[in-house]
Structure formats: structure tokens, C-alpha cells
Amino acid sequence: MKILMVTAGLPYPPHQGGALRTYGIIQGLHKLGHEITLLSLDSRAAQEVKDSPLAQYCRQIKMVAPPSRSKSERLRNLILSREADISRRLYTDELTQALKQIMEQDRFDLIQFEGIEVACYLPLAKAIFPDVKMCYDAFNAEAALQRVIYEVDRTQVKRWPMAFYSFIQSGRIEQFERMLCKEADLVIAVSSEDAAILAQYQPAYTIPVVPNGIFTHDYEWEGEKLDLGQHALVFTGKMDYRPNVDAVIWFSKEILPEIQAIIPAVRFYVVGQRPHPEVEKLRDLPGIQITGWVKDVQPFLHGAAIYVAPLRMGSGTRLKILEAMAAGCAVVATPLAASGIRNDEQNGMSIAKTEQEMISTILALLNQTEKRDQMGQAAQDYVKRHYDWSVLIPQLIEAYKGIGLG
């Protein structure tokens, strides 16, 4: 097949969720002999792209500078229109023209839009080229995600403005998602929970699930291990993303002090780029390290006693947890954090349903090295069986076959 992939940024290096997913899909499809053209919103130099593995996997790579939308523009859109903010965030005439030009120059079997932020171009592409199959790869069930964020934010007075934003946006995003699901020939969800939500918008066909995945061998770290201390707790993720910000603030203020009261030597490492100002403030609390951007997360994962996933909002399959499992970490997660991952007793995770349960589980594991090792081995074996791209790409091909491709 000849496939055009439209992405919100170049998926290399694959250091965060969307890039990890898209990079895995591109590499997997290339290995099967499919021809990939990549259209991305990115401002990097052409030489940097030529030197990346993407140049090996893609026949053509076209970049367009991402648009810049000020807070005042976004506020004006919130007040004066009924459009979802996310539906206009990455819209630019330059990418529209590039999309038209690429499609006029070549004949594609499929155009795949990676995530909701670039899906605003799907209706345009379908209107101009109605014979080309259109796929919306939904990273999240976004309207449902905003509703969960609203429920969490509204419990704190200082977060009411953000709660109001999420409340307004959830209804608008639902309309946008409904339109995308009706326009697309194929909608792919990353979890069964998301698929059930998105299916309400388009009951005419079953929405297939292709979970997020990783190349598990990349996490079998043989480099120098970081000495993070005997009682190191680690969390990784993009640290200006609201669910991650909420998770580390909640954990740092409600969970960590209770653990430190019993084991004072515990240290909590927050590993990820662009820490939010509220996350930066956590530096003042005892036992907390905010790393900012790091070249590789693997040394931190392999240096952790426990990987914690205290997420209270979000959807999809948490790539951060899959990475931790592949690195052999003992993982303690909230039910929501683990919701996108297959639910059985062999996945090696401990699920903590309450604050007290998270505290007691972490305390117990910090004192049981052998138990942590057993959990880590089980998690590593499990993710290889179910979430390596070698397992997931065949599922993607089956989804394509459902619309007569592949």
C-alpha cells in the first residue's frame, strides 16, 4: 500500500506518547513493504531529518512549520465560537496546501491522521479525494478525557478556571469526535475502553483496537545504571501535560509524605521534559527530584525501586507504564492509569484503588526486594507477549483489511 501519514510533529526521536506510537507504526509498516509518505508539522532542519531513521522508513518527508496561537486567540475562540479548541490548535493554511499538493502528485491507498490535533484536515482531504480511504488513529477518547479532568479540577477552588475550560471543551470535542468518526472510513482506538466510547459516535461499524506499543528490546538496558538510592520511586512523562502534572502534584503532597514518615530515605524522581511551573515548585519539598528533559529514560527506569503511576485523569494505553514494564520495573498504579492495559493477574502490576492502598503497597514493596524482582520479571515477560510492535502491527493490518486494504 501507499500510505500518507499526517502527524502533529516528526515522530523522532520517539520520546513521548504520540511519537512513540507513530514511529512504531511507520517502522512496522515499512518492514512489511508498505510505502510511507510523512507529512508533519515541524520546524526542524532538513538535514536533521535526513540523518534520522525516518529517512530510511519513508519515501518522502514533508514538513510545515506549526502554527502559533496565542492565549488571547484561544480565549477569543473559546468565547466567540462553538469550536473545540483542539480542532483548531494545529490548523494552518500551509499544511492544507501541502496536503493538497502531495495528494495531487501521488495516488495513495490510505491517509492516516495520527491523533485528534491533525484530524481537522481529514474532512478536507475526504472532500477533495473521496476515493482515498481515510483513517483516524485516535490517541485518546478526548471528550471523555476532558470530562474526567473537569471532575478532578472542580474539587479545588484554584483550579476552577481550568475546570470550566474542560467543562466547555468536553461538549465541543464530543461534537468534533462524532464528526470525525462519521467522516473516517476507519477509526482506530488504543484501548477497549476508548473503543466503547468512540463506538457511540459511529455505531455502523466496529472500532478496532490497536494498543500503544513499544520495541521491548530497547528497554533491556545494558548501559551504566544510575544510583538513585535504595528507595527510589520514579515517574516519567511529558511534564506540561495536565494528567501528568496532576498525578505528580497529588502524589507529592498526599502520598509521598506518608511514605517518608516510615522510610525517610525515599526519593521521588519526576522525569520528563518541560516541567509545568506547579511541578517546578515541588523542588522545594524534601526528597523530590525534577529532572526536566533527559536523553534516555531507561537509566532512570533501571535505577528505580518502584515505578509509580498515580494518574487520576487520562485515557488510552499508558506508554510510560509499558516502558516501565519492559524495563523490568515493579509498577504500582491507580486503576485509571492501568485501564488501557490488558486486565489479568499475569501483568505484574499492583493496582492501588485508594490513597491508603497506594501508600501501604509501596511501603510493603520497598521492604521486599525479591517480590519487586518477581513483579518486574512478570511485567517484562507480559509486555513482550502483548505490547511489542511485532505483535501489534499484524493487528493494524487486520484493521486495514476491514476497509478493503492491506
What is the domain-level CATH number for residue 394? 3.40.50.2000
One domain for residues 340 and 250: yes
One domain for residues 249 and 368: yes
379 φ, ψ to 5°? -65, -45
One domain for residues 272 and 205: no
Query: What's the CA gap between 145 and 191, in Å, rounded?
Result: 13
One domain for residues 243 and 288: yes
One domain for residues 313 and 355: yes
192-199 and 142-153 helices cross at what angle (nearest 10)? 100
Task: Work out how many domains the chain is built from and give that number.
Answer: 2
Instruction: Note the residue count of the chain.
Output: 406
Confidence band, pLDDT 50/70/90 cuts, at residue 72: confident
For the record, the C-alpha cell of 336 comes out as 485509571
- What is the extent of the structural domain holding 6? 2-213+389-401
One domain for residues 177 and 43: yes
One domain for residues 348 and 209: no
Confidence band, pLDDT 50/70/90 cuts, at residue 344: low
One domain for residues 19 and 160: yes
Q: Is residue 149 part of a domain?
A: yes
The pLDDT score that the predictor gives to residue 341 is 81
Q: What is the mean pLDDT of residues 308-316?
A: 83
Q: Is residue 406 part of a domain?
A: no
Q: Is residue 224 part of a domain?
A: yes
One domain for residues 149 and 232: no
Write the CB contacts of 304 (distance below 8 Å, at least 6 apart in sequence).
228, 232, 233, 234, 269, 324, 329
- In the numeric block, the cell 478532578 is attached to 152
Q: Pairing between strand 110-114 and 2-7?
A: parallel
pLDDT at 376 > cutoff 60: yes
One domain for residues 158 and 230: no
Query: What's the CA gap between 96 and 57, in Å, rounded?
Result: 24
Query: What's the CA gap between 65 and 396, in Å, rounded?
Result: 29
Q: Is residue 294 part of a domain?
A: yes
**What is the reported pTM?**
0.86
CB count in 10 Å sphere of residue 57: 20
241: closest CA among 213, 211, 274?
A: 274
Contact 270, 297 (CB under 8 A): no
The pLDDT score that the predictor gives to residue 343 is 63
Q: How far is CA 189 from CA 65, 70, 181, 395, in A?
A: 28, 31, 11, 12
